[in-house]
Structure 1
Amino acid sequence: MSLSVIDLSWNNLVSSSIYHWLFNLNASLVSIDISYNVLQGPIPDAFGNMLSLKDLYLNDNSLDGGIPKSFGNLSCIHSLYLSINHLNEQLSQILQNLTGAAQNSLEILNLNQNQISGSLPDFTKFSSLKELYLGRNTLNRSFPLSFGQISNLIFLHVFSNQISGPLPDMSIFHLLKELYLSNNRLQGMLPKSIGQLSKLEILGVSSNSLEDSVIVVWGLISQKWLRTQNNFSELDISYVGISDTIPDWFWDLSPRLHFLNLSYNQISGIVPDLSLKLVDFPGIDLSSNCFNGLIPSLPPKATLVYLCKNMFSGSISHFCANNKFVGELPSSLQNCTKLSVINLGENKFAGEIPAWIGTHLTNLIILSLRQNEFYGSIPPRICHLDHIQILDLSRNNISGNIPRCLNNFTSLVKRNSSSETIKIELVSYSGSGY
């Protein structure tokens, strides 16, 4: 039984001697993986003589130049991974060098994050392609009409280039699951045919110059596509100039959705309770919009949440309590001088209670630090909280004397039942322990 698979990835291979070793092997290699090394220089022609090769992984090295013409001889080649190198050939030349036996078998071509230039060429000869990754290069000009001939595409990534002009008809890409077009110079409207891509899971169109994208996103696609899609897992429509409210149905999105990016638009309105709408949702970016009202309750499994640069108002007590925050209170909190409610209870904050709470947060009505790991004494400066009505420091490791000046807190509220809720002006607090 002869050797067929070589995996030398994630090493520190720097010498071209590894090539001589590979090419001298008396074996019909099917898969070669020398990715994640520090190989430099051009790709050797001799790879083109390995006619049994199906999968070649050269990604994440420092290779330069282009793809040798001999690669066109690889009649069995299935996947070619060359991403994250320094390849600087024109894309049209790369395809020309792959023309031949390879064009009929190649299904995956990954050239992401190189220095490949030129316009998008005619891919008609590569009808077997299923995955095409061209992101983070310097490709320019517009999509050729013939681009639509590669109808078997499932993944198409052309983000972060300089591609301009309108998008072609997308209806032929009926198998497409991922379409990344972000960070280009695309113009015109999103084609109506995108609404016909029933298998699409990820659509990225942010950071382009698409016209009337609001009408397209909230009109055609929203009604005839988004509302009927149950498969997509990521939706990025940031930087597209939306200046509308979010329709109610929008929050009842695909149950598979794990990242939603609506940032850098002009979206207004109130965000609903996301803990009920997006139960298994780990990532959401609503930053740099005009959302108002209370900060929404978040999905219980959220790991990334961006709400900055909006117009949210009101209490944030529910937002921070009953988590697993650790460490000392950040000193930057003292800059929030207009805060009236702080509820950081039931976390794992530690350290001494900062004295700046009393000198900088003088508008506090409610302060709850209960059930943490604070230690030391109560700082006397906390007596500067003239408006305080609820002070809860219970279930910590606080020691020492209680400052006598706490007797001056004439507005403190006493609660008789552990289950009742105290309402103070526009603030509701349901904590316990004070």
Structure 2
Amino acid sequence: MITHDPYQVLTSWNHSFHFCDWSGNLSFLRMLSLYNNSFQGTIPHELGRLSRLHRLYLDENKFSGVIPTNLSGCSNLEVLSLGGNKLAGSIPHEMSLLSKLVGLAIHENKLTGGIPPFLGNITSMEGFSAGGNPLGGNIPDTLGHLKSLTEFYCYDCNLYGSIPNSIFNLSLLVNFSIPDNHLTGSLPLEIGNQLPNLVWLQLRNNELTGVLPPSISNCSKLRILETFDNNFSGKLTIDFSKLRDITYILLAKGNFHGRGEADDMRFIDSLKNCTKLVALDLGECNFIGVLPISIGNLSDQLSKLSLRDNQLFGNLPSSIGSLVGLTFLDLGLNQFKGKIPTTIGKLQKLQFLSLDSNQFLGPIPDAIGNLSLLNKLFLDSNKLEGKIPPSLRNCKELNGLNLAYNRLSGNIPKHLFQLPSLNYFLNFSQNRLSGSIPSDIKNLKTLSNLDLSYNNLLGNITSNLGECISLTTLNLRGNRFQGVIPSSFSSLGGLGALDISENNLSGRIPQFLERWKSLEYLNLSLNDFEGEVPVVGVFANASAFSVWGNNRLCGGLVTLELPKCKEMGIKKKRFPFFILVIVIAPTLLILLCCVYLLCKKKRNSQPSQSSGIERFLKVSYNQLLKATDGFFAANLIGEGGHSFVYKGILDSNDDKSVAVKVLHLQSRGAHKSFIAECEAWRNIRHRNLLKIITSCSSTDFHGNDFKALVYEFMPKGSVHDWLHSSAYTSKLNLLQRINILRDVATALDYLHNRCQTTIVHGDLKPSNILLDDDMVAHVGDFGLARLLGTELNQNSSSGVKGTIGYAPPEYGFGSEMTSCGDVYSFGILLLEVMTRKKPTNNMFIEGLSLHKFAYMALPDHVIDVIDNDAIVLQSTEANARKVEECLVATIKIGVSCSVDSPPQRMKIEIVVNELQRIVDMLQNI
């Protein structure tokens, strides 16, 4: 259609060529935009001929290959946008020739090779976007030459090192976004004066340290302040009243507690002028103090508020009800007390509400029923009592409800089962609910997870549960249900976990359980089931199911050690007894002779120590009585919550000393402790675990139950004795301490990662670490152990979970015991071994703990917290520096293992490697 062509540029476009093959000349082109198409292949190097091109937009396509070096021929280029493609390789050096470049966008590609320093020579640059590339390297100091730079985006670029000081001299910088990297170092105290034009400051998920500078208050245009997932510390002193345009304040996972003070939340007062605030996330910041009434003065635009996992105490102010714009409120894992204010019912836009793991008491307020848009409600792990309010029926959008670990009573209200939206979870466990399961539960056809464990529910399990066909987990454990497993359960073929243990259920194990392909965990223990245990499906894996405590079961896997089932059908004709005697007697005589000869041969061959007394050696009450001189007080060498430990000598143990642990069966939980320890020892054997010789389950001379465990005696006592007993005049040196810690870590690594079934020790502390003649450490006392995925994984609110000071904080809120909990205990153990301070020391008050005591000493003051007996003066300054390096590395391990958040704790296999490295360093000094 073009008729006027004075320069003849279209003469080559004729019918002889397809238009896709036309090689016309567009040398006067100023802008080429192919944005958001599906072009693929490499970027044509011919584009470099467009010397007059100002803007080139190739972003959001499928270009691959490298960035063409020929683009340097576009000497007038001002904007180059290549983001959202599949480009690889490094940023070519020829780009430094694009001296007029104002904007460079290469984000969301596969570029490597780091941010090249030569980019600092393009002084016209105003915007640089490279996020979402695995660039690596650091931020070049030369970028400080880009005095016109206003936007810098390098999120998720695998960057290391510190932020160069020169960056903070770019006074025109508006958006500075470098989240999701590995950047270290601190922010300059004058950042707010150096970068007064900041609108976005995004630093999340790095490794930055130091304080958040108060000068940020001077960034009056700031809208986004995002620093969560770093290591910032020190009291938060930013004056937010100057930040009137701020919309997002996201500071979670810092350590903003001011030393020796408990008013960390005073800064809330300064937020009242932030009328545009939409989100305030201050979770896991270690704030200590009360939540001020001024919380109610925050913006009515505030949609998200999280103060989760701090140390806030006192009553929750009723002024919280003024935040009528909230859709998300999380105040869980604090120490709030008193009643839940009824004003919370004014937050009618709420979709998520979590008040879990506090100390709220009294009834659940009826006003919660006003939250008609609520999706998820977490009130678990408090001290709430009374009945479940009927007003919850008004929460028509509710899809998840957790009221576990409270003191709620009465029947389960039927009206909850009229909520068609309830499809995610319903958890009423660990309460005092009574009555039966309402038949209306059949309405919850889309519910995935139901937990009614540890209540006082009784009667038959309603067959209507079989209509909840979407269930993936069902837990009815620890109630008083009776009767048989309803046949309607056969409809629940999607179940992955079923726990109906600790009830009064009876009958045979239904065949449909062995046919469920999705079932990964089944617990039928402590009931009255009878008949044969299947051996297919879930029953083919001994670690996937439990039938313990059902005395009328038979058959099943050999490892269950159940009696064989009696043969059914036609009774066989009895074989004449006298013929049996004639046949068997000579055979038995021959066998006895063989046994005698073998035993004699073994005695003459002087076997090694490891082939001596096995763990299944049988001993009686009388033998143990004699071994300990009648459990004489002078032989008492230890005492625990459920037991007394005596030193003794068994006649059958070659006169070697043993340790006899006698269970105090009148103590609550002693029976379960004995069973747990027997089961744990049956599954483990390791150099750094205490060797068990045998167990005894019998009666004493008065007919009372008697249970005991017999261990190899450890002549060097416990680590607790070496640290804290005045009877031990000599002390552990540094190398001995690190060796002991490595031994313990190695044992934990074995229990967690190298056993067929993961074993959680549950009570790691110095008194349970015993030393042999060679000062090799052995972990003992498995009375609280849990074999994950078996019947021993039994936790309840009344159950003991470790020892105060060593047990992780999550256990206090009702969490299941995990290997992460053992890692926390190990971290505290390590810090105690190195500082000789118990976690319950009187100095640890007002928020100070052994963990914080050690953390605050890192890295420059570690020598001040180490036990003096562990430090030996070195002959040279170089050696002294190496020792101090070892001390810092060791304390870092202890601190990393004992952080509050389980996922952030150091992996035990890494701990083993790090401690071995420290041992090697010390041995070379």
Q: Normalized against structure 1, the TM-score is what?
A: 0.68
Counterpart contact for 1:208–1:240, Cα < 8 Å = yes
1:348 aligns with 2:398: no
Shift of 1:109: 0.4
- Equivalent in 396, 410, 418 of residue 323 of structure 1: 396
- Equivalent in 18, 31, 45 of residue 3 of structure 1: 31
Shift of 1:250: 0.9
**What residue in structure 1 maps to residue 115 of structure 2?**
67
1:264 aligns with 2:317: no
**What residue in structure 1 maps to residue 206 of structure 2?**
161
1:307 aligns with 2:355: yes
Query: What is the 5 A alignment of 1:7-46?
Result: 7=35, 8-16=58-66, 19-20=67-68, 23=71, 29-46=77-94
Residues 18-66 of structure 1 deviation map (CA, whole Å, 9 limit, x = unaligned): x339828869555444333333221223444344543332222222222
Which consecutive unaligned segments of at least 5 residues does structure 2 have? 1-28, 36-57, 360-381, 447-455, 465-925
Q: Based on CA coordinates, which of the two structures has the bigger radius of gyration?
A: 2
Return 161-170 or 255-264, whichever deviates more: 161-170
Q: What secondary structure sits across from 1:162 in the alignment? A: coil
- Equivalent in 175, 179, 186 of residue 135 of structure 1: 179
The one-letter amino acid of 1:209's match is N
Counterpart contact for 2:265–2:290, Cα < 8 Å = no
**What residue in structure 2 maps to residue 205 of structure 1?**
251
Query: What is the 5 A alignment of 1:49-64?
Result: 49-64=97-112
Which consecutive unaligned segments of at least 5 residues does structure 1 have? 352-356, 376-383, 388-392, 394-434
Query: What is the 5 A alignment of 1:94-105?
Result: 95-96=141-142, 98-100=143-145, 103-105=146-148
1:111 aligns with 2:154: yes
Shift of 1:264: 0.3
Q: Which has the bigger relative contact order, CA under 8 A and spacing at least 6?
A: 1
- 1:275–1:369 distance in 2 versus 1, CA, 3 Å: farther
Counterpart contact for 1:186–1:208, Cα < 8 Å = yes
Counterpart contact for 1:242–1:265, Cα < 8 Å = yes
- CA–CA distance in 2 between the matches of 1:79 and 1:386? 68
Shift of 1:145: 4.8
Query: What is the 5 A alignment of 1:225-304?
Result: 225-269=270-314, 271=316, 277-292=322-337, 293-294=339-340, 296-297=344-345, 299-304=347-352
Residues 329-366 of structure 1 deviation map (CA, whole Å, 9 limit, x = unaligned): 99x99999966343326532699xxxxx9xx9961599
**What residue in structure 2 maps to residue 378 of structure 1?**
none
**What residue in structure 2 maps to residue 405 of structure 1?**
none
**What residue in structure 1 maps to residue 905 of structure 2?**
none
The one-letter amino acid of 1:264's match is D
Query: What is the 5 A alignment of 1:114-125?
Result: 114-122=157-165, 123-125=167-169
**What residue in structure 1 maps to residue 223 of structure 2?**
177
Residues 315-342 of structure 1 deviation map (CA, whole Å, 9 limit, x = unaligned): 254345441457xx99x99999966343
Q: Please give the root-mean-square deviation of Cα atoms over the aligned residues, in Å.
A: 4.3
Counterpart contact for 2:209–2:230, Cα < 8 Å = yes
**What residue in structure 2 maps to residue 404 of structure 1?**
none
Query: What is the 5 A alignment of 1:218-229?
Result: 218-219=265-266, 221-223=267-269, 225-229=270-274
- 1:193–1:287 distance in 2 versus 1, CA, 3 Å: closer
- 1:52–1:181 distance in 2 versus 1, CA, 3 Å: same
Q: What secondary structure sits across from 1:260 in the alignment? A: strand
- 1:22–1:366 distance in 2 versus 1, CA, 3 Å: farther
Q: What secondary structure sits across from 1:226 in the alignment? A: helix
Counterpart contact for 2:61–2:84, Cα < 8 Å = yes
- CA–CA distance in 2 between the matches of 1:251 and 1:349? 31
- 1:216–1:307 distance in 2 versus 1, CA, 3 Å: closer
Counterpart contact for 2:224–2:246, Cα < 8 Å = yes
Shift of 1:227: 2.9
The one-letter amino acid of 2:419's match is N
- 1:41–1:364 distance in 2 versus 1, CA, 3 Å: farther
Q: What secondary structure sits across from 2:31 in the alignment? A: coil
Q: What secondary structure sits across from 2:209 in the alignment? A: strand
**What residue in structure 2 maps to residue 417 of structure 1?**
none
The one-letter amino acid of 1:130's match is V
- 1:59–1:50 distance in 2 versus 1, CA, 3 Å: same
Shift of 1:291: 3.6
- CA–CA distance in 2 between the matches of 1:105 and 1:348? 58
Counterpart contact for 2:241–2:273, Cα < 8 Å = no
- CA–CA distance in 1 between the matches of 2:255 and 2:403? 39
Counterpart contact for 1:130–1:152, Cα < 8 Å = yes
**What residue in structure 2 maps to residue 88 of structure 1?**
136
- 1:145–1:288 distance in 2 versus 1, CA, 3 Å: closer
Counterpart contact for 1:40–1:64, Cα < 8 Å = yes
- CA–CA distance in 1 between the matches of 2:211 and 2:457? 60
Q: Identify, as 1 or 2, the structure richer in helix.
A: 2
The one-letter amino acid of 2:391's match is H
- CA–CA distance in 2 between the matches of 1:249 and 1:345? 39
- 1:212–1:151 distance in 2 versus 1, CA, 3 Å: same
Shift of 1:373: 8.1
